[in-house]
A = this chain, B = another copy of it.
């Protein structure tokens, strides 16, 4: 009797449902932000606004991005003129990143849109459920 009679269902796997929720969020994000900024680029800018000037790898750590991933993200943000780079005089390895004036000027609008996307995403839940969900989700982060 080593068999398991319960049918296996992909729909019950947390990884799969997480992917579905992430996809829906990405779709809602795109609807609000258009192709101006991706969720990842948004995260990098928001964090840079929070912590101020820092190195590229540090920004990657603060946004849970691999060194290879954050490089591409920063490259694209610099190409858009939203992030500025200067070399660190105290450490020749580092380049110090900061929001450009244009990037900083966009922050308030980004915050408003970001909050709207979070509300859109949580819309299927009532207020009490949102609290519970975010609390539990945070434990899995």
Q: Is A34 an interface residue (CB 8 A)?
A: no
Interface residues on A, range: 35 or more
Q: Please indicate the chain B residues that have their CB under 8 angstroms from the CB of A68 in the complex.
A: none
Q: Is A13 an interface residue (CB 8 A)?
A: yes
Q: Please indicate the chain B residues that have their CB under 8 angstroms from the CB of A138 in the complex.
A: 17
A129 near B124 (CB under 8 angstroms)?
Answer: no
- How far, in angstroms, from A133 to B140 measured CA to CA in the complex? 10
B139 near A124 (CB under 8 angstroms)?
Answer: yes
B24 near A140 (CB under 8 angstroms)?
Answer: yes
Q: Is A56 an interface residue (CB 8 A)?
A: no
Minimum Cβ distance to chain B for residue A105 (Å): 15
Q: Please indicate the chain B residues that have their CB under 8 angstroms from the CB of A122 in the complex.
A: 14, 140
Contact residues of A with B, CB < 8 Å?
4, 8-10, 12-26, 29, 39, 43, 46-47, 49-50, 63-64, 107, 111, 114-115, 117-118, 121-122, 124-125, 129, 132-134, 136-141
